Copies of this chain bind each other. A is one copy, B any other.
């Protein structure tokens, strides 16, 4: 079925050529002690001459460590991964992994088959550790927390339970920042578009928002789910306009959602920010490019990836890193400027 894999030189051949035992050769390529200078050099020469590269599979079998970690993204939306959010996470993860010798296995688990593979991979120890970004309320999480006997770092908290290791953004705090900004700039009829109710991040953002408003004594007129997508945001905005009297501010659970909302507002002849101010969440590139550019809650996405990787590496090294909450901050652009309307 596959082209006959050409044989690479083995450690035995290196050892023979260098005139040492295989054990010694192994010690040399692993930089282990107990090898005389002379033999070490002989082995190194043989390695060079033969172009020897240790076979990672064999090493993995012998050491019981595969030298790879799994980044799994679990979601329902097919192709949600295409959201630049994840690309950015991957960049962060890669940056950290690059300095280790761990490889990155990527699994997009948004189908039953994908989730099945995820389980297999975890149970068969195809990776030494797992980073899991789960965007649904249930699923592999439960199994993992219990079954997996390898370290699992969560990116974003799962809906239920608090795992041992996780990195999350301060979603609640971000929601409050949005509320405070609206209050500060004189908005008094705010509404919100949330994500799926089973996504903890979405819930936290909305809670923070509600909390911030409550503290200022401003009522929250209405909330509609927007599914984190542009179309979802547009439809949610549609419903909000229909069911609530003239909101003057909307907080969306993501930039994409906010952009959808902008579209609907425009369609209804409402001016942003004059009639309605809009705040998004994430601060990805699209927030800068929308018209008007989006005021949004920035979350450090790349750092999220970095910290997840760092945490996993720490766990693999036997330390017990503490969970991390990354700060969010308000980025003011035109969709919700500093001044009052």
Contact = CB atoms under 8 A, between A and B. Distances in A.
B2 A128 contact: yes
Contacts of A302: 79, 82
A147 to B, nearest CB: 9
Contacts of A55: 61, 124-125
Interface residues of A, number: 63
Contact of A61 (B57, B99, B111, B259): B57
Interface string A287-327: 00111000000000010000000000000111000000000
Contacts of A117: 98, 101
Given A87-B84, A98-B114, A98-B117, A2 B65 contact: yes
Identical chains in the assembly: 2
Contacts of A8: 123-125
27 contacts: A1-B316, A1-B317, A2-B317, A3-B150, A5-B125, A53-B120, A53-B123, A55-B61, A55-B124, A56-B124, A56-B125, A57-B57, A57-B61, A61-B61, A79-B302, A82-B91, A83-B87, A90-B106, A94-B107, A94-B108, A98-B111, A98-B113, A98-B114, A103-B126, A105-B106, A289-B289, A289-B290
Given A53-B123, A57-B60, A61-B61, 5 more contacts: A82-B87, A99-B113, A103-B126, A289-B289, A290-B291
